[in-house]
Structure 1
Amino acid sequence: MKKSKMEDNENDESQIHLPDDLIVHYILPWQPIKPLAQYKLLSKQWYFSLSSPNFILNYTNLPLYSHPIPPIKSLFIQSGNSFYLYSCDNLDDNVVEVDRNTEDYLIKLNDYDFDVGNDVVNLVGSCNGLVCLGEIYGNYFILWNPSANQSHKYFSEVLDTSSCDWPPHIRWGFGYVSSMDDYKVVRLIQYQIGLLVDTFVHVFSLRANTWKKIEFDLVDCSYVLIERPRLVNETLYWTASRNPYGNMKIVAFDIASETFDMFPHLAMLSPLGVVLCVMGGCLSKCVVRYQNEWVIDIVRGPGRVYPLHLNCDLGRFDDLIGFTMSNKVLVAYTSPNMLGLVDLSLVGLSSKESLVKFRYEGRTRIESYVTSQISPHP
């Protein structure tokens, strides 16, 4: 039987139709960014596909990092003087309901003895199974492997603050240099006298078991570093400001070359409402514009910043921890003190979920954690 022209046209259209997954993953990443913004308006499906973290992190065919960062598997959590490990294995399970608050997922670490007395030590960072805790006055730090239940305390030079009007600002940093197979701990000491800021930097090498003084060689040294740094691609990033409400900058310290530089690729304004974080292995900045509108600027390379616009009622959060396998976002809160989860596929709906609540009325510090048997001893 002879086919009609209409049937021939339908067959031709079915043959040239491309699956949406093929278009999103293999065709659109090669398009300029301006048309992509227009493609989002075609349908809800295209909007969510082009707004997903997977698409954003794979937008350029030349990745920023040689080794892609896998989704978060587990977390190391400090809440007050208590420490926990939290498994993220079932965070992407949308079929079976899981009670994630049970001890199967939140494990409290009790068998440790750091011999710190009444001193306060805070989480600095976690890398390859080692956790670094820094004493708040800069007198020592602790390297700890919770999986192997081994720890070691490393003392540093005692600070002389007798000539200072105010106590110094102490900032710790921790990272790993793959080319040297060495873990390094950075201690920054900033003395502020009026408008002048003196900065002293010491770097500890675990392989050499020695301290080394580094010159703080930035042109503008009047900025005070804020909070603990973010580690990305063997570089530590601190936010810095002249005053609590002034313009901010990002200071970068390459722990391999042990050199400082300013990082100009993320524009920072007031510290209020701005969170520097690591999303998908990339340095990112999160800004809450309105009550339910927030933007994550993800740095894919020098000058390549991709904004992720989301509409969701996050509330007042302290930190974004990273992505899970299915593009959910782990969020840390202080009021109330808890770990939360946001499902990006439900943006605009009631997508925020409380995972764990902590009794401690203070800031909870959370880092991605991987199991290893690496020794914390020199």
Structure 2
Amino acid sequence: MKCSQSILATNTSKGMTTVVESKKQEMESQSKDEKDLIQQFERRELPHDLIIEMILTRLPIKSILRFKSVSKLWYSTLCSSLFAFAHLKFPNPSPTESLLIRNGKRFQIMSYENGEIDLVNVEVDFDVGDENMDLVGTCNGLVCLGSSSGRLSIIWNPITRKFHKYWDFEISNSFTSRCLVYWGFGYVSIVDDYKIVRVCKNMDNDSLTVHVCSIRLDTWRIIKNDAYDDTSHLRNPVFIRISGALVNETLYWGLPGTNFSFNLASEKLEAFPYLETSPSLSYVTTSDDEYVDKLLFVVNGCLSMYGTLVKGGDIITFMNILTIMKSPEVIEQMIVPKDLAKSMHHGGNLIGFTRSDKIFTQYMACLGVIDLTRQPLNITPLMDLERSGKSEIVNYCASLIPPNISVL
């Protein structure tokens, strides 16, 4: 019996040793493969330009940052703006989904894959003085922050740690203390330019104006009112979301009465009614119905809205509805359970993915995730956040794009 136990213990020990050695060999093999790759590059078995164009542009950001130390030539090439734009053309096939989180005074990039969370702290090198900055949004790896005063906006790349400040004293000096400022940020492919959009409402006379800053030209412009078809519906707007939701080079904001969009290419502000209908539910909205507490966001690349529909008529009812607009003709809607809606109403916010059916949600002082493929909808907690007003979250996809493309 003792002999059998001894043999069993020996076999178990050998099995554990085999597993450990196998893992060790696997790690050594991965390290060897990377070293071999660098050695092949250094021997110039391929022309340098071909290596850059056909191989390095397709690598993930982490590998590129490591490969900068290969040689001075590689460093200068991988740090160039031309390589940054070439790399952006080849999307990373990794299913990793990331968020940029402003948690109190800290900035973090969170990767979420297969239920695993990876948090990386990001150093901030810029000083904003007395300006109170809001996290406006991201586009192609660039992050936009805007001040509540409207004077300052910052374009920042957290990966390269480079930033550029876009001050506007000429227009913003005309602002009053009763002027509300709302921001948007996005890319315009037809002119190869990034634009910062600032929507200002003067509370004294109810006037609404739009200002646009071209990143390439580093200048602010006022968009004249004759660019709008009708301005009568712009009186007394109450914006729910301080930053516009970006879909197909158009920014969207939600208002109690209707929704508004600003096309970055045509620079035109328009109302759109698409999310106000309810074709997939068991009823149709009427003139007595009204959406309140609306929040526009993006999920799977589609403009979406979470809001409370107040059903009018003889009996007033409240229904919390999640709407996803696949196209102006295809709209999907679902009723949100009361328990989930209750959590969302306590400082809630929705942040949609672009590559999955899950939605990050910021509720109370927590970050969680909602799986749209499972019914009923529920929140799975992921991490704790600072109290309401101290945390902001946006979707993020890393890049090497410079924050000031006017230098090109």
- Please give the alpha-carbon distance, in whole angstroms, between the structure 2 residues aligned to 1:87 and 1:149: 18
- Residue of structure 2 aligned with 1:276, choices 292, 296, 300: 296
| Paired residues of 1:72 and 1:368 also in contact (CA < 8 A) | no
Alpha-carbon deviation of 1:187?
A: 1.3
Amino acid at match of 1:275: L
Higher percent of residues as helix: 2
- Shift of the 284–204 alpha-carbon distance from structure 1 to 2, 3 Å rule, reads same
Q: Displaced runs of 4+ in structure 1, greater than 6 A?
A: 289-293
Identity of aligned residues (%): 35
Alpha-carbon deviation of 1:300?
A: 2.3
| 1:63-88 C-alpha deviation (Å, 9 max, x unpaired) | xxxxx9x9772111123332111102
Aligned counterpart, 2:182: 171
The runs of 5 or more residues in structure 1 that have no matched partner are 1-67, 92-97, 241-246
TM-score by length of 2: 0.63
Please state if 1:107 is matched with 2:120. Answer: yes
- Please give the alpha-carbon distance, in whole angstroms, between the structure 2 residues aligned to 1:273 and 1:264: 16
Instruction: After superposing the two structures, state which structure 1 stretch, 358-367 or 255-264, moved more.
Output: 358-367
Aligned counterpart, 1:24: none
- Residue of structure 1 aligned with 2:200, choices 183, 189, 193: 189
- Shift of the 90–207 alpha-carbon distance from structure 1 to 2, 3 Å rule, reads same
Please state if 1:307 is matched with 2:329. Answer: no
| Paired residues of 1:310 and 1:347 also in contact (CA < 8 A) | no
Aligned length: 285
The structure that has the greater radius of gyration is: 2
| Paired residues of 1:79 and 1:363 also in contact (CA < 8 A) | yes
- Please give the alpha-carbon distance, in whole angstroms, between the structure 1 residues aligned to 2:199 and 2:294: 22
- Residue of structure 1 aligned with 2:349, choices 306, 319, 327: 319
Aligned counterpart, 1:18: none
Aligned counterpart, 2:65: none
Alpha-carbon deviation of 1:270?
A: 5.8
SS at 1:313 equivalent: helix
TM-score by length of 1: 0.68
Let me know the Cα RMSD of the aligned residues: 2.9
- Residue of structure 1 aligned with 2:148, choices 136, 143, 156: 136
- Please give the alpha-carbon distance, in whole angstroms, between the structure 2 residues aligned to 1:174 and 1:239: 16
Amino acid at match of 2:135: L
SS at 1:266 equivalent: helix
- Residue of structure 1 aligned with 2:368, choices 340, 363, 366: 340
- Shift of the 124–372 alpha-carbon distance from structure 1 to 2, 3 Å rule, reads same
- Please give the alpha-carbon distance, in whole angstroms, between the structure 2 residues aligned to 1:325 and 1:281: 8
- Please give the alpha-carbon distance, in whole angstroms, between the structure 1 residues aligned to 2:222 and 2:124: 31
- Please give the alpha-carbon distance, in whole angstroms, between the structure 2 residues aligned to 1:376 and 1:206: 8
- Please give the alpha-carbon distance, in whole angstroms, between the structure 1 residues aligned to 2:273 and 2:388: 36
Aligned counterpart, 2:132: 120
The runs of 5 or more residues in structure 2 that have no matched partner are 1-90, 278-288, 311-316
Aligned counterpart, 1:73: 97
- Please give the alpha-carbon distance, in whole angstroms, between the structure 2 residues aligned to 1:310 and 1:361: 22
| Paired residues of 2:209 and 2:223 also in contact (CA < 8 A) | yes
Amino acid at match of 2:273: P
